[in-house]
Amino acid sequence: MAPVKVGINGFGRIGRMVFQALCDQGLLGTAVDVVGVVDMSTDADYFAYQMKYDSIHGRFKHDVKTEKSDACAAEADTLIVNGNKIKCVMATRNPEDLPWGKLGVEVVIESTGIFTEADKARGHIKAGCKKVIISAPGKGDLKTIVMGVNHEQYEASMDVVSNASCTTNCLAPLVHVLLKEGLGVEKGLMTTIHSYTATQKTVDGPSKKDWRGGRAAAINIIPSATGAAKAVGEVLPVVKGKLTGMAFRVPTPDVSVVDLTFLAEKDTSIKEIDELMKKAAGSYMKGILGVTDEELVSTDFIHDNRSSIYDSLATLQNNLPGEKRMFKIVSWYDNEWGYSNRVVDLLCHMTGCKK
């Protein structure tokens, strides 16, 4: 089977992390050829620098070089990673103008955060590719996929899919286990304590629609809206309308945590919930859901490639005598690295590429 030719539109945090995950999983140059990356510059030397040195995830483990595709060019515009050549392409306001057809791209990873609507994402298809994976919550006529939860619902006829959000990828596996194991969810409230991201301000700045969102990210706990809990209802329709939630953006650069307080549909216990999560993590949710029973903190989960790591020491209940249905469960996630690995897993699921 020939390698799947991939283009990455948006070479920021998630775009670069997806690329690194392809490298670390041994897919680049074997099962996958990344033939083009798109950003606001075509300066391959700068892209190489960004990959080599990362403030959160450390040194890039692979050989990186650059070259000029045209001897007369002012700067290098081609990355060479482990011998694989990747063309650096200038971003456009319209995906239809990107050279996917010329480069032979089959699948585009849409990581700009801009083209999240299905119709806009389909501009990549008009440019010559066959399928698009949006590495963010999507809108419009598309399917939202969470690996390990509803990935079997993917159909070959689907041309644009969303990998949901990092928070949905953490929450959905927990809810999936509760449903699959018969405990059910009557209703619930989720809070994600989420690291700041590139969309936030380093100092107080303008943010007309979200006044609190314009405050300095590194010195504030900032309440924020999130659709992650409601999005679980799109992935698991049986809980649609039963979950909602909010976020607190906090002064950490990576790793977040989900707090789900829920009313089960049947009586249960902390012990049973723990046992079911551990069972799932070791079997049908292996590699997606993890479990920790140690006294860990957020930095201990940096570069953890799982979607959701259930904290068995943090589970609580609030039940009056005779009641056994109200619980709080907590799960950690590296919102950059775990999520990016799921994008790669979805790519492989859709294309049949083998690790």
Catalytic residues: 166
Contact predicate 137/144, CB 8 Å: yes
Using CA atoms, how far apart are residues 82 and 173, in angstroms rounded to an integer?
A: 34
Contact predicate 109/127, CB 8 Å: no
Q: What are the DSSP calls for 151-188, one per residue? A: GGG--TT--EEE---HHHHHHHHHHHHHHHTT---SEE
Q: Could you give the 3-state DSSP secondary structure of residue 210? A: coil
Only one residue has tokens 């089960």, namely 264
Task: Classify burial at 164, counting beta carbons within 10 Å of its beta carbon; exposed 0-12, middle 13-18, buried 19 or more.
Answer: buried
Binding residues for NAD(+): 13-14, 39, 93, 135, 335
Using CA atoms, how far apart are residues 110 and 184, in angstroms rounded to an integer?
A: 34
Distance, C-alpha 305 to centroid of its chain: 10
Binding residues for D-glyceraldehyde 3-phosphate: 165-167, 197, 226-227, 249
Using CA atoms, how far apart are residues 161 and 212, in angstroms rounded to an integer?
A: 31
Only one residue has tokens 């989720």, namely 190
Q: Could you give the 3-state DSSP secondary structure of residue 203? A: coil
Q: b/e string for 211-238 if b means 16 or more Cβ within 10 A?
A: eebbbebeebebeeebbbbbbbbbbbee
Contact predicate 128/338, CB 8 Å: no
Contact predicate 111/15, CB 8 Å: yes
Contact predicate 292/306, CB 8 Å: no
Distance, C-alpha 177 to centroid of its chain: 20
